[in-house]
Amino acid sequence: MITVEIANRSGADVDESEAGELARRLLAAEGIDEAELGLAFVGSDEMRTLKRDHLGLDETTDVLSFPLDGRDQLPPGVPRALGDVVLCPEIVGTEWRRPLAHGLLHLLGYEHGDEMEAHEMAYSTP
């Protein structure tokens, strides 16, 4: 089972159910059938602080990923903690699906490039 813990601290109206479903669908398609994932929607000030504190860049952005276990081999009985994806609705607006897919793919070890872009497009289509 894939557990998605969602927090909306952005003040924006976000379809949390649809975001969780997109995450579960993408992860299942990538062969992840049991994992824990954190998904947060935040305002631009919080996003700017996160990017500054973790990447050293004092600017806001649409999505950040904080990977943990990814696809690493884990000992039996240890639950897979994929990490967290943080989205800023103020930046992405209603087009949050592709940035969410982008962030999730980073948790799984994908880097920027053609393969990632192709997967983003495929997974973010409703």
| Tens-place pLDDT, residues 62-118 | 999 999 887 888 888 888 899 999 999 999 988 899 999 999 999 999 888 888 888
Q: How many helices (H) and strands (E) does the chain have?
A: 5, 4
Q: What amino acid occupies position 1?
A: M
| CATH architecture entry for 2-124 | 3-Layer(aba) Sandwich (3.40)
* Complete edge-to-edge strand list for the sheet that includes strand 63-67: 2-8, 35-41, 81-87, 63-67
* pTM, rounded to two decimals: 0.89
pLDDT of residue 26: 95
Q: What is the pLDDT of residues 30-48, one digit of tens each?
A: 988 889 999 999 999 999 9
What is the rounded distance in angstroms from the CA atom of residue 83 to the CA atom of residue 90?
22
Return the domain boundaries, the chain.
Answer: 2-124
Tell me the pairing of strands 81-87 and 63-67: antiparallel
